[in-house]
Amino acid sequence: MMQRVEFRLVRPEETALIREVAALDRLSVGADAWSEDTLSEECGRDGGFVLACLTENAELCGFAVFSTVLDEGCLNSIAVGEGFRRQHIGEGLISEMTEILRSRGVKMISLEVRESNAAARGLYEKSGFTCRGVRKNFYRGPKENAAIYLMEI
Ligand SMILES: CC(C)(COP(=O)(O)OP(=O)(O)OC[C@H]1O[C@@H](n2cnc3c(N)ncnc32)[C@H](O)[C@@H]1OP(=O)(O)O)[C@@H](O)C(=O)NCCC(=O)NCCS
């Protein structure tokens, strides 16, 4: 990693940080992005998590949104700012998420990703997820299959 970064969970009252997360999500995935309201609800509820990666100057460089249902975890969204990619921040977010979920008794993490998203699929495979199937035409605008990944932790 080129610079020192810290990973921490976002609290619902951190409205400026939540606004930055929503903006990065919009830049990265467009119309499928989470709204500020939904993000603050997620970090306020039991079983919902928004994990931020911040530089030493408190600049947001990436985030992950994940949740738990009983002993299963689900990675709902992850993005790294364009100027920060390929510096292992994505890997750092997944490994922090895994520790948080493991400490809460989670045994398995699942996620879905557009079949054509080579960067994200590369990140998931390097982090220990395996592709277990496809959901046909899961995404719209543009219509595309989802690849389903699982990782036991
Ligand atoms: C996917 C994403 C989060 C990866 O973040 P990142 O911080 O750049 O990833 P890392 O530096 O941790 O990469 C880890 C590994 O993933 C793979 N990888 C990452 N980017 C890749 C790319 N563009 N092409 C191929 N493999 C890639 C590589 O194996 C890489 O390891 P290496 O650099 O040692 O070769 C980032 O590209 C992104 O924000 N994309 C837009 C949002 C998105 O598509 N999110 C997923 C769907 S919600």
User: Which residue's CA lies nearest to atom 32 of ligand 1?
Assistant: 86
For residue 87, the CA-to-ligand 1 centroid distance in Å is 9
Tally of CB atoms within 10 A around 24: 20
Query: Which amino acid is present at 125?
Result: E
User: Which residue's CA lies nearest to atom 27 of ligand 1?
Assistant: 119
State the pLDDT at residue 68.
Answer: 96
User: For residue 88, what is the domain's CATH number?
Assistant: 3.40.630.30
State the pLDDT at residue 32.
Answer: 81
State the pLDDT at residue 67.
Answer: 98
Q: Which of 94, 115, 123 to mutate to test the pocket of ligand 1 (most atoms within 8 A of CB)?
A: 123
Low-confidence ranges of the chain (pLDDT < 50): none
State the pLDDT at residue 2.
Answer: 61
Give exposure, 56-65, as e/b (b: 16+ Cβ within 10 Å). eeeebbbbbb
**Ligand 1 contacts CB of residue 118 (under 6 A):** yes
What residues make up the domain containing 11? 5-152
**Ligand 1 contacts CB of residue 81 (under 6 A):** no
Domain count, the chain: 1
Catalytic (active site) residue 124: yes
- For residue range 44-77, list pLDDT tens digits in order: 999 999 999 999 999 999 999 999 998 999 999 9
pTM of the model: 0.97
For residue 120, the CA-to-ligand 1 centroid distance in Å is 5
Residues 6+ apart with CB under 8 A from 45: none
Say how far apart CA 125 and CA 60 lie, in whole Å: 25
State the pLDDT at residue 142.
Answer: 87
Catalytic (active site) residue 6: no
Rounded-to-10 torsion of CA 4, 101, 134, 128: 50
State the pLDDT at residue 89.
Answer: 97
